[in-house]
Amino acid sequence: MKPVILDVDTGLDDACALLLAARHPELDLKAVTCAGGNVGLDDVVLNTLTVLDAAGRPDVPVARGAAVPLIQPVRMARHVHGADGLGDLDWPRSTRATDPRHAVELLRDVLREAAATGELITLIPLAPLTNIALLLRTYPDAAAGLREIVFMGGAAGIGNATASAEFNIWTDPEAAAIVLAAAGELGVPMTMYGLDVFYDVVVTLEQARALSGSQSAELAQKLIEKRCERYEADGASIGDGGAVCAVIDPSGLTTQPFPVRVELSGSWSRGRTIVDTRDWSADLTSDPHGQAPSTIQVATAVDGKRYAEMWLATVS
């Protein structure tokens, strides 16, 4: 089993990812940490606990983390995820308590234990990277417990929050820049599962309506139905769930190593991930910026059918 931690801002697609991570037999879900993003932190925490209860995993510790980005005001996407972030499904809400530790402290403790035992953890951030930036700068020694970071965010091409920027990075670009820099300094491998592949793992309405037999399956069905309803389509991407699929089955994802920066200024481009696809073996000395210090794996293609089938089989 692969030990993993998810960092979430649970809206509809984070819920798809949580169901998969909580139920897949090859993953050992050690903890889930929460950050404000798609909706406010209170809703994120309640949604996370609710999804884990539906998945039959009340044993997984859940911790409250950063409510707002490092610098700029919080931005939310209730128009995509509903007023409560879970599609206003009227699903029975969890009543259990969160872990008493702050998310950064929970991450620190679990990762230090992993470093001590040698059972390194894959961290899967699916939210703005605020919690992860705070972790790596406050407790850099905790990085010794990381095998890798596979995050949903960014894009080599177009954005969705703006023409340039993907939502998670745009929400807290300073945090994303800090995580890229810190991971490079600390030797933590990173994979960017961005918008270039995000929409390509699609579950049809027909497939979703065939799910049955458990609370997990019923919730999964409703999540896809709600996403189809919002986009007036007969199929919906599992979104963040694809990043979890990539950890379970990396061979379904095509990646290439590229230097990546985050644009922190710019009237139209703040929050854009600048993926440098140039050939640096050529003479690029005319570029005054030089090569970005952080080179990470960037997802460029995905076997969408394979990942969709994995998700369906797991949540049912």
Structure-token pair, residue 185: 């300094």
| Total domains present in the chain | 1
How many distinct helices (H) and strands (E) make up the chain?
Answer: 12, 11
Cβ–Cβ under 8 Å, residues 142 and 108: yes
Structure-token pair, residue 304: 């969408």
Q: Are strands 273-275 and 253-262 parallel, antiparallel or unpaired?
A: antiparallel
Structure confidence at residue 174 (pLDDT):
98
Structure-token pair, residue 70: 């490092």
Closest CA to 6 of 193, 155, 140, 201: 193
Compute the average pLDDT of residues 272-279: 95
- pLDDT per residue as tens digits for the range 227-238: 999 889 999 999
Distance CA 203, CA 232 (A): 14
Report DSSP letters for 249-271, one per residue: -GGGEEEEEEEEEE----TTTTT
Range of the domain at 212: 2-315
- pLDDT per residue as tens digits for the range 134-184: 999 999 999 999 999 999 999 999 999 999 999 999 999 999 999 999 999
Per 3-state DSSP, the chain is made up of helix, strand and coil in percentages (nearest 5) of: 40, 20, 40
Closest CA to 168 of 156, 157, 159: 159
Neighbour count for residue 203 (Cβ, 10 Å): 27
pLDDT averaged over every residue in the chain: 96
Q: Evaluate if pTM is beyond 0.95.
A: yes
Distance CA 287, CA 62 (A): 45
Please report, for the domain that includes residue 308, its CATH number: 3.90.245.10
Look at the alpha carbons of 198, 225, 207, 125 in this order and tell me if their dihedral is positive or negative.
positive
- Amino acid code (one letter) for 108: R
- pLDDT per residue as tens digits for the range 14-62: 999 999 999 999 999 999 999 999 999 999 999 999 999 999 999 999 9
Structure-token pair, residue 89: 């499904």
Compute the average pLDDT of residues 104-113: 98
Structure confidence at residue 8 (pLDDT):
98
Distance CA 32, CA 26 (A): 17
